[in-house]
Structures are given as C-alpha cells and as structure tokens.
A and B are shown apart, each in its own frame.
Chain A
Amino acid sequence: MTITQQQQAVISRRRSRRKTSNAVASVLIGLCVVVIMIPLIAILWYLISNGVSALSVEFFTRDPVPVGEAGGGLRNAIVGTLMLLAIASVIGIIIGVAGGVMLAEYPRNRLVPTVRLVSDVLSGVPAIVMGLVAYGLVVVTTKHFSAFAGGIALGLLMIPIVVRTSEEVLKLVPVSVREAGLALGLPQWRVILSIVLPSAASGIVTGVMLAVARVAGEASPLLFTAFGNPRLSLNPAQPVSALPLSIFNYVVSPYEAWHRLANAGALVLVILIFITTLLTRLATRRRH
C-alpha cells in the first residue's frame, strides 16, 4: 500500500493544524496564569504604594482621632486583634486538637465518622453565619457586645482547620513509635500524651498558626460581636476593635484621612498574615 501524493498533502495539512492548535492552547494556558497573577500583583502594589506612606510610629502607638484632627493610629485595633486571637486560640486549640486526637488515635470510636463529617461541613459555613451564632450565644445572653463574643466567633471558625491539620500531623507519627511506648508498658493515654503529641507538636503548632492567620483577617463575624471601639480597651467583657473591622469601617467612610489609615492598616494586616503563612510553609517543608 503506497501513500499517494494527495494523501500525503492531507496528512501534512492535518499535522500543521494540530500543531497550530497545540501552540494556541499553550499560549492560552500560559495566559491564564498571567491573568491570575495580575490581581495579586495589583493588590500588593496598591498596598505597598499607598500603605507605606501612611505608616508611622504613631500608627502603632495612638488611637484614632476624630475627623479633622491630624495624626492618629490604630493601636486600639492592633491590641483588639491580639485579644480576639488569644480568646479564639484557646477555644480553637482545646477543641480542635482534641478533635484531631480523637480522629487520629481512636479511629474505631463510633463517633469518628460523625465528628469528621461535621468538622468538614463546619469548615465551609460562612464566617458571617458563625458571627450570627456567636451573637445569639453571647451577645443576646449577656446583652452587650464584647471581645468574648468576637473571640468565640473566631474560635468557632478555627476549630475545623485545627482538627484537620492536627489529625494529619498525628497520623504522620509512625506506628512503631506508639508500639515502642506500649511495649514499654505505658498505657495508651500516656503514649498519646508523652510520645505522640510531643513528636507531632511542631506540626500542630503549624496548623494552629495557619488557622490564626485565616481568622485574623475575618471582619464579618466581628461586626455584631466585637462591634468595634474607638478607644483602647483591655477588658474582654467590653467591645473591642480589630484591624480588619477598622479597615472595613474606614474604607466605607467618606473621609480621606480615614482612607489613609485603612490603607496602612491593610498593609500591616497583610504583612502579618503573609509572614505567618510563609513561616508555617517553610516549617512544614523542612519537616517533609
């Protein structure tokens, strides 16, 4: 069977068409990455070019001043964010790590599938809905907004993240380590507490830090729980401000000075979150 000249022409025409479509597809796929990078770079560029000029020592050491006065900072929001994160971490770590231990160490418990399912589903519940839950639980009961309410809202958001990461990390601890402990005659609870948890500690800390970084930027559940406070407050039973909350309030305000404060706050918040994320990323990479 010989190939005629006509057939050869058809084949080569097809080949060139296939090559063209291949090239077009490569370019389009490359373009997708470029298009995704544009907003990321634009956001970072915007924050750097507008935030740096608005940053000063005052930003960290003073509370906001009324519109019209010069200066002012976001000390109240920075302190408020730290307070909220501390309260949230207590809830997130205790319940989250316990959940992770149960899923990883007692896999035959009948409640394990339910806990895993509920935790997964909770991780997708919108932050603002968790804010409503905390509002109903704390604000309605105590009859006023408080740092506790905000911290509980953020803590509820942290739990599913901590459960998932600590379960994964605990499962990375080799069985042989557990068996060695048991062979020495240690009861299971001692094995978990003194052998498994310490060897997974760095991973669990990483997971907690990631969860903290996630909720540190949440403002929507704080709108009606922590509420915001123009002054520095260290009382957890009082309303406090938070960086993302102040940014939101200042961006939607009509004042130029507040916009500047929002830009500076946004830069600080993003730097904090990026540093945490990068550090945890590096820590996890070294371990594997």
Chain B
Amino acid sequence: MTSIKLPPTAGRTSSKGDSPFRLLITVLACAIIVIFLLSIYELTSTSWLSIKTFGLSFLTRVVWNPVTGQFGALNFVIGTLLTSLIALIIAVPLAIGSSIFITEYAPRWLSEPIGYLIELLAAIPSVIFGLWGVFVVVPIIRSIELWIFYQPWITQNPALKWLVPDQPTGLGLMTASIILAIMVIPYTASVSRDVIRLVPSDQREAMYALGATKWEVIRSAILPYARAGIFGGVILSLGRALGETLAVTMVIGNVPAIPKTIWSPTATMSSVIANEFTEAVENLHLSSLIEVGLLLFFVSVLVNYLARVIIHRLNPLAVNA
C-alpha cells in the first residue's frame, strides 16, 4: 500500500457540486472531533457534583461508602492497575511466544489457521468470557484456594502470607487477571506478529550464515529489532485491559477494598461502574461513578495515544490491530 497523491484538482474544477460535497464530508468527519469533545464535556458536567465535593482528594482516598456519602477512587485505581498488570505478566510471554511460532517456526499451512484462531479469541464478547469464567474458571480457582488452605507449609509461612486466601470463593483478583490475560493475548500477539514480520530477512540470514541456531537468531537478531513494536503492542493491550468491564465484573467479587492476597475479591474502575450504576440512587453516588468513568476515559486516551506513537514511529502500516 503506497500513499496516494491525488491530482491537484480539488477546488479548481468548475463544478458547483464540489464545495458542498467537500463541506458535507468535512462536517460529518468533524463530528468525530465533536464527539470526542462532547464526551469530555458530558462526563465532566455529569460528574461535576462529585468533582466539586471531593476535589483532588477523590484520587487519593480509599473510602467508598454510599451510605455516608464518602467516595474516593484509589481502591479502584489500584484494583485496575493490579488486574491489568498481572494479566499482562501472564499474557505477554505467551503472546510473544505464539507470534514467534507463527512467524519463525510454523509452515504456512499451520501458521495461517493458528493466526485465525488467535484472532477468533478477540472476537469472543466480554460477557461470554465472563460466563465461562463464572461457570468454569471460578470453581477451578476455588479448589486451588481450598488446596492451599490445607497446606501447612504455605499457611504457616509468614513470607507466603500473600498466597493464603482469606475466603475460598474463587472470585477475586487472580481469577479476573487470568480471564483478562486470555482476552488481551490476541492484541499483543497480532501487533508483535506484524513487527516480527517486518524484521528484514538480511538480519536473520546474516546470523544463520555465522552458524547461529534458530533460538540464537530469535534472541539476538529478531527480538531486539522488534522490541519497540512489541512494546507498543503491550501498551495497546494495557489499554484494553484497563477498560475491560463485564468479564472482570463477573469474576472479581466486587468488594471495594485493596486486595490483601492475590485471591482477594476487589473491584476495578470499570467493574464498580457496571456493578453500582443502575443501583445508585443518591446523586453524589452517581456522579462519583461517572467521575471514575472520566478518569478511565483520560487514562485510556493517554495509553492509546502512547501506543499509537510507539507503533507509528516504527511503521505507519503496522497499526491494524
């Protein structure tokens, strides 16, 4: 795909239809910018009550009490960061491994179907990951938690306190992170597959000519070359993970508290909105929830902007994920 230069006719033809048509297209396209600004305006104005009441302390307080009308978003920020971080730790190595397999190991007849299957994972709706999580993953995690309960070498060891579940429900941080990991794998995988394909074959051939093994080629010729692009893909996945809502809501336990162990039930920014919005009756509660949404909006815009800059600098065509 090369960039296309249009013949320099715009504005110079004698047709009367040209400027109205261009105006129409421009106005409709500018609706996109308007939507963006309108989103910021709507979110700010509907959460104004909460912004006015709590000010900046909204970001630093760990309290969420609809009864006393005290709200702070820090637990949800921490919950979001923790789930996303654990999810990325699980997902990134798997995604990079799979994209290396597709580009370097698999023959064409195998690499294409595997690529499709991984992309199919991205087509499954969030709510279905949640359903599968509730009925399949949660019972598995619960039995792991019960197993840990009966291991004295873990429960008695003060250094492993973070591994001991406080109540073995199966709902919590770890379950949510595992589901999130599965959901973001396709995003990292597709970007890293694209950038690994962009590594010039000279790089590989030069290494092979020196007698390197395949793994040595991957480690010292391919991965360093593709590093920045893969990082962009990871940031893109982070953006997905931060905003993922229903699957997380269904398995995280929805307790507005900072998790004590990796199994503890907690809540994220998006899960608290999904969980409490329709039940919120107080105006302050509603506007606090919307302020959490405003926060999420800015964070995701920032993260996606970063990912875009990183991937674009590498190759303007690779941003198809």
- Interface residue ranges, A against B (CB under 8 Å): 18-19, 21-22, 25-26, 28-33, 35-37, 39-40, 42-43, 46-47, 50, 94-95, 98-99, 101-109, 111, 114-115, 117-130, 132-133, 135-137, 140, 156, 159-160, 163, 168, 171-172, 175, 178-179, 182, 187-190, 192-193, 213-214, 216-220, 223-224, 227, 244, 247-248, 251-252, 259, 262-263, 266, 269-270, 273-274, 277, 281
Q: Is B209 an interface residue (CB 8 A)?
A: no
Shortest distance from the beta carbon of A105 to any chain B beta carbon, whole Å: 7
Q: Apart from A25-B219, A124-B303, what are 17 other A-B pairs with CB-CB below 8 Å?
A: A36-B98, A42-B136, A47-B132, A50-B135, A125-B304, A128-B245, A129-B300, A130-B39, A133-B42, A136-B43, A136-B290, A171-B4, A189-B18, A217-B127, A219-B125, A247-B128, A251-B127
- Interface size class for chain B? 35 or more
State whether A136 and B126 are in contact (beta carbons under 8 Å apart), knowing that A115-B29, A124-B300, A251-B250 are contacts in the complex. Answer: no
A94 to B303, CA, bound (A): 28
Q: Is the CB of B128 within 8 A of A270?
A: yes
From the candidates B6, B22, B38, B105, name the one contacting A26 in the complex (CB within 8 A): B105
User: Which residues of A are found within 8 Å of B134, using beta-carbon distances?
Assistant: 251-252
The 7 A-B pairs at the shortest CB distance, nearest first, are namely A217-B125, A126-B243, A32-B97, A187-B15, A124-B304, A98-B28, A189-B21
User: Which residues of B are found within 8 Å of A163, using beta-carbon distances?
Assistant: 32
Q: Is the CB of B304 within 8 A of A121?
A: yes
Q: Is B114 an interface residue (CB 8 A)?
A: yes
In the complex, the number of residue pairs spanning A and B with C-beta atoms less than 8 Å apart equals 287
Q: Is the CB of A122 within 8 A of B127?
A: no
A36 to B236, CA, bound (A): 19
State whether A111 and B26 are in contact (beta carbons under 8 Å apart), knowing that A43-B132, A178-B7, A223-B278 are contacts in the complex. Answer: yes
Shortest distance from the beta carbon of B224 to any chain A beta carbon, whole Å: 16
Q: Is B220 an interface residue (CB 8 A)?
A: no
Select the residue from A28, A106, A109, A136 with max chain B CB neighbours within 10 A: A136
Shortest distance from the beta carbon of A150 to any chain B beta carbon, whole Å: 13
CB neighbors of A among B61-113 (8 A): 93-98, 100-102, 105
**Closest chain B residue to A215 by CB distance?**
B125
Q: Is the interface of A mostly helix, strand, loop or mixed?
A: helix
- Interface residue ranges, B against A (CB under 8 Å): 1, 3-7, 9-10, 13-15, 17-18, 20-22, 24-26, 28-33, 35-36, 38-39, 42-43, 45-46, 93-98, 100-102, 105, 114, 116-118, 120-121, 123-132, 134-136, 182, 185, 189, 213-216, 218-219, 236, 239-240, 242-246, 250, 270, 273-274, 277-278, 290, 293, 296-297, 300-301, 303-305, 307-308, 319
A140 to B45, CA, bound (A): 12
State whether A47 and B29 are in contact (beta carbons under 8 Å apart), knowing that A129-B243, A136-B42, A190-B15 are contacts in the complex. Answer: no
Q: Is the CB of B94 within 8 A of A36?
A: yes
User: Which residues of B are found within 8 Å of A160, using beta-carbon distances?
Assistant: 32
A259 to B134, CA, bound (A): 11
State whether A124 and B301 are in contact (beta carbons under 8 Å apart), knowing that A22-B216, A220-B270 are contacts in the complex. Answer: yes
